[in-house]
Every structure is written in structure tokens, then in C-alpha cells.
Amino acid sequence: MKTISIINLKGGVAKTITSINMAHILSSLYKKKVLLIDNDKQGNTSKFFRVHSYDQPSIADVLVERNYDINNVIKKTEYENLDIISANMNLLSANLKVIMDMSRQQQIILRKALEQVQDKYDYCIIDNAPDINISVINALVVSNEVIVPIKVDKFSFDGLDQLIDQFEDVKELNPSMNFRGCLITSFIKNDVNIQGEEYLNSQLKYPMFTTHIRRTEKIDESTFARQPITEYSHRCGAAKDYLTFMKEYLEE
């Protein structure tokens, strides 16, 4: 199982949209077995797939409970080959409990839990919060690859160097983690976006995907419909871009 973390310290850059559509394309078009983990207390990925709940176990239980059977928290989605681990606001208190528990190695809890389903899935995609807390560190420690969705604005650029510093710290526990690349999202063909994309491509320290995801209102509409973009509007620019991106990702 290859594990991929989707992360950016800035919100509003399409982390959740990218996680959802990567998972859906891998499971539907490429027929891969995919486990999608919601690792954000806001639970937007969980809400999208209609599994958000306080009555059922979530990623918080995996982090807090010792020797937890991760199969208890995995839920089916309506899509074949695509399962999910949900999140809710309990993740906030779970982070605090893990930090306070000095009796075990806090950063490898998720890695140990995912070993239980290592042979069950081809891919695990983790939608991370815009933060560096213990649950996000757990995600990075277990990840083979990291993808950073990024919107062209000054705040996103400023946070990128901070994020790369965090990657270097995590490599002490996960030396094989690969910063696979930045994916430009919400792209509009104007001077700011064109120049911003050129700048990022000129910085050798930032691995970049060639594909960018165009801004379209269909993405926002798809969140209300709770459908991946290739199902909601397969002819729109963003749907075509996500398909192209996944082809680029798999071919590299």
C-alpha cells in the first residue's frame, strides 16, 4: 500500500477536493483499492461522503486507543473500491491526549495501525488539516509521498518554505518520505497566476507537477452535490485537469 499525504499549512487551497478526486479517480478509473483518511477535525471529507458522525468511531479512536483494530473504523463509501476513515471534532481532544501520553512513541501510532490493512489496499490517501499537530505528524511519518496543493497567492508561497522545513524534521522518523510535488489549484489564466506558476517552476527546491487545476464554479457545485468532479461535471476544465494530473502522477 502506497500512502500519500495531501497537505498545506494554508486553508482554502483545495486539499480536500484534491484528496477526494484523487481517491475517486484511482478507485473508479484505475480500479485500485483505496483507503481515504480524513485527518482534519472539520470533517469535510467525511461530510462529503456522508459518513460524518459522533456515534461511530473515527480517526480519533485510532490515535487514542491502544492496539486499536483499525477495521472497526473503516467505512464503505457508495463507490466501489473506495473506503474511508472519518473525522470529527473529537480529533482536537485526541491530539491533546496523544501529546500528554508519554508512555508510548506518539509519532508512529498511525503507522502501526495501518500495518493491519497494508495488504488490503493499493493506496491510502490522507487529507490533512492545515496545521502541524500530532495527528498530521503521524500522517507524514507513515506517508511514502507528499503532495502539496497550492493556490497562487503570497500567503501560500510564504507557508511553503515552513512546510518544507517540517518535511525535513519528519524525515528523521521517515527517511524515505518523498516530497512528490506541488499541484497548483484554482488556476485562472491571468497575469498573477501565470507569473506565480512561472516563479514556482523556476525554484528548484519546489518539485512541481506540470498539470494545474483550473478554477471553475463546478468544483464548488460538486461539494453541494457531494459528487467527485468527474461524476458531477466530467466535461468541465477541473475534471479534465484532475484526470490529466492523475495520469501524470502515475506515469512519473
Give the integer Cα–Cα distance in Å for 73 and 149.
27
List beta partners, residue 83. Answer: 35, 76
Domain count, the chain: 1
- Residue 236, helix vs strand vs coil: coil
pLDDT at 189: 87
Whether residue 87 contacts residue 46, with contact meaning beta carbons closer than 8 Å, is answered with: yes
Residue 156: give its domain's CATH number. 3.40.50.300
Q: Residue 166 pLDDT > 90, yes or no?
A: no
Highest mean pLDDT out of 100-104, 152-156, 222-226: 222-226
What's the mean pLDDT when you consider all of the chain? Answer: 93
pLDDT at 231: 93
pLDDT at 57: 95
Give the integer Cα–Cα distance in Å for 196 and 13.
15
Q: Residue 6 pLDDT > 90, yes or no?
A: yes
Cβ neighbors of 127 (< 8 A, separation 6 or more) are 6, 15, 16, 19, 20, 36, 37, 38, 39, 40, 44, 45
Share of the chain above pLDDT 70, in %: 100
Using alpha carbons only, give the angle 95, 2, 224 rounded to the nearest 5 degrees: 65
Structural domain that includes position 235: 2-251
Give the integer Cα–Cα distance in Å for 246 and 5.
15
* DSSP codes joined into one string, 23-72: HHHHHHTS---EEEEEESTT-HHHHHTT---SSS--HHHHHHSTT--GGG
Band (pLDDT 50/70/90 cuts) for residue 165 is confident
Give the integer Cα–Cα distance in Å for 229 and 174.
33
